[in-house]
Amino acid sequence: MNTNNVPILQKENAAKAIFSITPFTLLDYPHKSACILWFTGCNMRCLYCYNPEIVLGKGKISFDEVLFFLTKRKKLLDAVVLSGGECTMHKNLIPFVEQIKALGFEVKVDTNGSNPDVLEQLMAKKLIDFVALDFKASESKYTRVTQSNLFSAFEKSLHLLLQNPIPFEVRTTFHSDLIDEPELRSMIRYLENKQYSGNYYIQHFVNNVETIGNLPRSSREIEKSYFTTRTIQVNFRG
């Protein structure tokens, strides 16, 4: 019996798509208290990925279990962050997010942009409030970095976000063996040409962690003052 006034999803929606939950964060959604749902699986194999257990592992928590958790956090959290892995890969994501929104939470999606059709449906239904879009590399280096051929899908997602009023940020993980300073400047020019303006976050690769690729240490010797432009504010994290 459902005693918490949470509509129970259909049986097929209850598959265990979530690897784990971070119950509280003030860092992952701007100006909001949130939890993070870590979705299993990804359609990319980024060499610097430091979540191989999430990307390659199996889910442990069902959607219904997440909804039960969220009913207990209605007075404590403002928002839910859908991260991973790649959350937009998962079947029945949209009805799941509908249930989250029905509980009164704002929703942020962290995505590699590989499923623009899902992103478009979420926006059309007004189910998401903020998006963090991963810009993995320029088109010429995209396959090497991500081990995928999904640049055109990423580009379509970027275009959708540029045409939509939902706030979003663009971010890139910087590993000096994959992205050098000329490449980073090229990526910034690409965003300018697409008429993106606002914050562009560069996340330094975290050395000494397990990753999907066998990469050497990443250098942090980068001249940060080179990159900010008239329309794009480049911010370094980590």
Domains of the chain by start residue, with CATH: 16-237 (3.20.20.70)
The answer to whether residue 169 scores a pLDDT higher than 90 is yes
**Higher-pLDDT residue of 15, 26:** 26
The answer to whether residue 88 scores a pLDDT higher than 70 is yes
Q: How confident is the model at residue 225 (pLDDT cuts 50, 70, 90)?
A: low
Q: How confident is the model at residue 130 (pLDDT cuts 50, 70, 90)?
A: very high
The answer to whether residue 9 scores a pLDDT higher than 70 is no
Q: How confident is the model at residue 206 (pLDDT cuts 50, 70, 90)?
A: confident
| CA 73/CA 51 separation, integer angstroms | 26
What average pLDDT does the structure give for the chain? 91
The answer to whether residue 120 scores a pLDDT higher than 80 is yes
How confident is the model over 27-37, as a mean pLDDT? Answer: 97
Show the 3-state SS of the chain. Answer: CCCCCCCCCCHHHHCCCEEEEEEEECCCCCCCCEEEEEECCCCCCCCCCCCHHHHCCCCCECHHHHHHHHHCCCCCCCEEEEEECCHHHCCCHHHHHHHHHHCCCEEEEEECCCCHHHHHHHHHCCCCCEEEEECCCCHHHHHHHHCCCCHHHHHHHHHHHHCCCCCEEEEEEECCCCCCHHHHHHHHHHHHHCCCCEEEEEEECCCCCCCCCCCCCCCCCCCHHHCCCCCEEEEEEC
pLDDT value of residue 208 = 86
pLDDT in tens, 136-163: 999 999 999 999 999 999 999 999 999 9
